[in-house]
Amino acid sequence: MEKHVTLLLLLVLCQFVTPFNLIMMGSRKGKLKRNLGPEAESNPKMSKGALKTLNQGKGQEITGVTVPAEGKVKGWQFGNQKIACANIDGRLYAVQGACPRCAFDLFKGDIITDDAFEDIPRLACPTCSTTYSLRTGKHGPPLKRTGLAGFVAGLTTTATQTDAGENAKCFVITRDDVSGRLFCKDK
């Protein structure tokens, strides 16, 4: 009887599910071969030295993600860790996924390669416009925006003034030329 009720319920609910819902419910989570968070550091089998020399010093292997196209940013998630990865001139850069100032997704931001900014390339938060160096993670001057984006950036700047000086965590992403495997480690 339970199977019939479940089947009937599924049939009734299917009319409300659209392709848009199915895409939005999908997960873009990658997989790390080993967890190198605080839990791994407390594990006696994975000492600090073992973490640094993992995969000949390349870091942890990343699987289940796609590399961003040239000049684009993609968001990767590994468990509760989010990373914004950018591909600029064939080189991969990565910073933490959430803006340290307003906590919005950095992977939705703009890549800046303009010489007017120091320490380029930079990634600008789409909400508060704070820029972060993709090489070092250091915060920099905000990107000047106009229109609605400028208005929202102004509101966010005044609402989050206390966190203005926080830097983003930076990661090193390497790709093995022979196998094409990706590796990630803290900078």
Greatest alpha-carbon pair distance for the chain in Å reads: 69
Helix (H) or strand (E) segment spanning residue 31: strand 31-32
- Give the Cα separation of 157 and 171 in Å (integer): 26
Query: Which residues are paired to 94 by β-bridges?
Result: 85, 171
Percent of the chain with pLDDT strictly greater than 90: 29
In a domain, residue 5? The reply is no
Q: pLDDT value at position 160?
A: 56
Q: pLDDT value at position 10?
A: 47
- Give the Cα separation of 109 and 106 in Å (integer): 5
Strand 31-32 relative to strand 182-186, pairing: unpaired
More confident call, 152 vs 123: 123
Segments forming the whole domain that contains residue 155? 65-186
Q: pLDDT value at position 23?
A: 34
Looking at the structure of the chain, the number of domains it has is: 1
Q: pLDDT value at position 74?
A: 94
Q: What is the CATH number of the domain that holds 113?
A: 2.102.10.10
More confident call, 29 vs 185: 185
Q: Choose the weakest-confidence range: 33-42, 67-76, 128-137.
A: 33-42
In a domain, residue 128? The reply is yes
46 alpha-carbon distance from chain centroid = 25
- How much of the chain is in helix, strand and coil states, percent to nearest 5? 25, 25, 45
pTM recorded for the entire structure: 0.66
Residue 30 CA: distances (Å) to CA of 3, 37, 65, 93: 34, 15, 5, 17
Mean pLDDT (whole number) for 9-36: 46
In a domain, residue 19? The reply is no
Question: Using one digit for the tens of pLDDT, what is the confidence trace for 66-113?
Answer: 999 999 999 998 888 899 999 999 999 999 999 988 888 999 999 998
39 alpha-carbon distance from chain centroid = 21
In a domain, residue 107? The reply is yes
Residue 136 pLDDT grade (very low, low, confident, very high; cuts 50, 70, 90): very high
